[in-house]
Structure 1
Amino acid sequence: MVNWKIGEEFNPAKQLRNLYFIYFVITIIFSVLIWYIPLAFMVASWITLIISVPLLLILIFVIYWIPKFYTSISYKLDSEEVEWRRGVWFKNTGIIPYNRITNIDIAQGPISRMLSIGSLKIQTAGYSNPNQGWGNSSEITIDGVEGFEELRHIIMDRVKGKKPVGVQTFEEPIGKPEDLPERIIDELVEIKELLQKISEK
């Protein structure tokens, strides 16, 4: 059983690294070997060699890069936010306050299911995604989690204890109902004065 402690970083399960390698092998088989093997029989050996050298370099690079990328991934649950880090040469970090989280979806493909891991896709309010526009979208994904259901409950329990961002509270109207239009006019006058002060700056 995985234990997540508030304020302590945790890394994805080791199965995530295996998943990356499995995806890599599948990509090689269906994107490279299906044309490389027939081509090797049809063209001269020196052409095959020219093609093979860069392919071999790419294979070596990816085999080196996958473990490096895996070890660069870390997550942390603080008292107020979720933090993530990843990246081998270009480091990426991000922080999402619990009060911006609207929902957490679980994603698990067939290979992930065999490896007993899943991903948590954290949905936030008002996040801009270039492909989806404004609205609710997945801002970060916590990949390679063994007890993903348990982690989802831990985060959502913290979300429920936070006031949603952008929520405002309004006092009940004081006085008689017939005074309400007058109070609305007063509010509008204040807003107008405030806008004038902003435009003068």
Structure 2
Amino acid sequence: MNDRIKSIAEAATYLFLQQGYSKTQISHIAKAAGVSVGTIYLDFTGKKEIMHFVLKCTIAPDFINRKFDRPITDDIFAGLESDIVEMFETTGNDFAKHLSDNAEDYNLEALVSDAFDMLSKYAAGCLFIEKNQFDFRFLAEHYRRYRQRFLKTMTQYMAAFIEHGTVRPLEHLELTTTLIIEILSWWAMDIRYTSFETQDIPVSISKKLCMDNIITAYQCKN
């Protein structure tokens, strides 16, 4: 993987999430990456190709290790939107798989761990859609459905755990589940990219903080 391409992609990711895709110019990316505008065009034909590169690397992390003909053109990203929508569907199905037996062999600790990992894995791409939803309405609509399904699945798991007696009764189940998701989302996604003061906290520490606090708050004491 060319280190310069990686630096450009990382700089673009930060800018797309902090100030938005439409407001980000190639000159901004060049300055953030520490290269000239001309150098950017040696590696990418334009801003759209950089954006597609960032999204592709989110859903296919190994893509970044490929060897590319340069400048990178948009033809290598054919079908990207469909791939992202398929990722939403596949991830949602996988996350809900323990509901088939009413989560008999699942627990709150495993749920929080799996939810955090899922949010963290796709953080950059999902935040890009959130922050640029009016520029990318097709992806935003599918992402909205994905988030709604995520909430529904999490709520069903929490209801099952309450029924099993492993999670304490909750007066406002869906609202509490929403709170848990927001905590997980902030620590798995926002703190790395879009919070007012982003922090370079290792993902493992962020995950441990979430798990310790959520499990302590909601798991029944033996």
TM-score norm. by structure 2 comes to: 0.22
Q: Which has the higher helix share?
A: 2
Q: Which has the higher strand share?
A: 1
TM-score norm. by structure 1 comes to: 0.24
The structure with the largest alpha-carbon Rg is 1
